[in-house]
Amino acid sequence: MREHEPWTVYDFPVQYLPSIRPNYHPPTFILGASLTLDEFVSYAKHVNLFPSTTPCDTESDWPIHVGKHLAEVCGLSEYFGDDRPTLIPLHHVHTKSQTPYVLPICTNYSFGSKFPLRQCERLLDELEKANISADISWFLGDDYSAWEGSDSFDWSDQYFATHS
């Protein structure tokens, strides 16, 4: 599983989507735009949400303001509805790629009935305005380590057994 991530939006294995069938709960995967910490700071400066001086207690929550701004620009409430928090937090992922942070749109557990294409496009457009080139991919979440040592770390067999 870790050898093959991150996946593009076109090649994410269906067996990693959760099922309503009992005992089929794959690890969490995050769909989002990957970037570096420097790129995130650069974006915050681009939208004037980064403190111009040494941050004090009242300015230390600038990443939250950036996350709320991104959620609004991307239209997350359109995808999730009003009952979900409207925040795109900077999330660290353990990946083999050179960009260890992700701005998540959804996870395989919060994935709706249709792909959040509009939200992904808006996120990429917004980052591009700040001269940040990013891609939307699926990344393995932090909970993968709970399955790493088990025989079911490759979920393909279990998926096909429960869906046949």
pLDDT tens sequence for the chain (164 residues): 666 677 777 778 777 777 666 667 788 889 999 999 999 999 999 999 988 755 555 557 889 999 999 999 998 888 877 666 578 989 988 777 778 899 999 988 888 778 899 999 999 999 999 999 999 999 888 765 555 554 444 545 555 555 55
Q: Which two tokens stand for residue 117?
A: 């294409």
- Domain membership of residue 1 (yes or no) is no
- Domain membership of residue 2 (yes or no) is no
Per the structure, how many domains does the chain have? 1
CA nearest to 100, candidates 108, 92, 110, 88: 92
- Is residue 23 classed as helix, strand or coil in its secondary structure? coil
CA nearest to 24, candidates 164, 140, 162: 162
- Write down the H helix ranges in 47-133: 62-74, 76-80, 117-129
- Residue 82 sits in which domain range? 7-162
